[in-house]
Amino acid sequence: MAEFTLELNDDQKQVRDWIHGFAADVMRPAAAEWDEREETPWPVIQEAAKLGIYSLDFYAQQFFDPTGLGIPMAMEELFWGDAGIGLSIAGTGLAAVGVLANGTEEQIGTWIPQMYGDASDVKVAAFCSSEPDAGSDVSAMRTRAVYDEAKDEWVLNGTKTWATNGGIANVHVVVALVDPELGSKGHASFIVPPATEGLSQGQKFKKHGIRASHTAEVVLENVRVPGHCLLGGKEKLDERLARARERARKGGER
């Protein structure tokens, strides 16, 4: 087994210097303006997209770096540039990881490109898990997803809070309860495609820092998404719920 080290190799140093250059030359000069405007710095994200820093490829390369240092190294440089702009650039990655972790290959191929857009038309995505009474305590989550079998649609209702890019995202990934009796084992994640009716932005938060990153509530009122928007698919969800019910029935750990 390779010895653990925090020493960067030559390739990593090159990437670090490249991001550092972007942080120093593009992010820092723009930081005060966007912090005061408290708005998403679209031109800076576009610049990052042109260079390839705002893209799934870049994120995936760092994510799959076998030393594990790729993501912390990239985040350290971006957030050195500015925490708000850094989160505006990194926020889409939260939603993309949600799809990478739970989605089918088809879902990954369909939705992740729509999360980033391209350099001529950049988009952002939002990962919506936290709720007013459920932050760290995900078992307290209340947002519900109910399956309408006749239409093969899921109906989402609830309020999410503190969502980075919430309401301004092209694609939202929403975590919801599909079986309340199973608590934290009864969750599933859903894609809410662009311009879906019933999803709206609630209050946008005024923060004490990280202000160039948009943080808002996301309100879901009878939001209907097609069956194929359930990440991982229905069969896998049904199997997982059946296992959880079985464990609960036996009185084991839920």
Please give the residue ranges that form the binding site for ligand FAD (CB under 6 A).
94, 127-130, 135-137, 162-164, 210, 215
Evaluate whether 101 touches 109 at the Cβ level (below 8 Å): no
Q: Which is nearer to ligand FAD, 174 or 178 (CB)?
A: 174
Shortest reach from residue 40's CB to ligand FAD, in Å: 13
The span from the CA of 21 to the CA of 196, in Å, is 38
Shortest reach from residue 29's CB to ligand FAD, in Å: 23
Q: Which is nearer to ligand FAD, 97 or 119 (CB)?
A: 97
The span from the CA of 240 to the CA of 135, in Å, is 23
Of 227, 195, 199, 241, nearest to 107 by C-alpha is 227
The span from the CA of 86 to the CA of 44, in Å, is 10
Residue type, 88: S
The span from the CA of 166 to the CA of 95, in Å, is 11
Shortest reach from residue 187's CB to ligand FAD, in Å: 12
Q: Which is nearer to ligand FAD, 133 or 238 (CB)?
A: 133
Q: Which is nearer to ligand FAD, 69 or 123 (CB)?
A: 123
Distance of CA 4 to the CA centre of its chain: 29
**DSSP one-letter code for 170:** S
Shortest reach from residue 3's CB to ligand FAD, in Å: 32
- How big is the chain by its Cα radius of gyration, in Å? 19
Shortest reach from residue 181's CB to ligand FAD, in Å: 21
Of 173, 210, 207, nearest to 94 by C-alpha is 173
Q: Which is nearer to ligand FAD, 132 or 193 (CB)?
A: 132
Give the Cα-Cα-Cα angle 168, 169, 174 (nearest 5 degrees). Answer: 120
Residue with CB nearest ligand FAD? 135
Q: Which is nearer to ligand FAD, 120 or 136 (CB)?
A: 136
Q: Which is nearer to ligand FAD, 76 or 153 (CB)?
A: 76
Evaluate whether 241 touches 179 at the Cβ level (below 8 Å): yes
Shortest reach from residue 52's CB to ligand FAD, in Å: 23
- For every residue of 35-74, DSSP letters joined together read HHHTS--HHHHHHHHHHTSSSHHHHHHHHT-TTS-HHHHH
Shortest reach from residue 146's CB to ligand FAD, in Å: 21
